[in-house]
Structure 1
Amino acid sequence: MATRAEWAERVERWERSGLSAEKFARREGYSPKQLYWWRWKLRAEGISPPSTALTQAPCFLPVHVVADASPVVAEPIEIALPNGRVVRVRPGFDPATLERVLALAAEETPC
Structure 2
Amino acid sequence: MATRVEWAERVGRWERSGLSAEKFARREGYKAKQLYWWRWKLRAEGTSQPSTSSTQAPQFLPVHVVADVSPVVTEPIEIALPNGRVVRVRPGFDPATLERVLALAAEETSC
For the pair shown, the structure with the greater C-alpha radius of gyration is: 1
The TM-score, its normalising length taken from structure 2, stands at: 0.48
Q: TM-score, normalised by structure 1?
A: 0.48
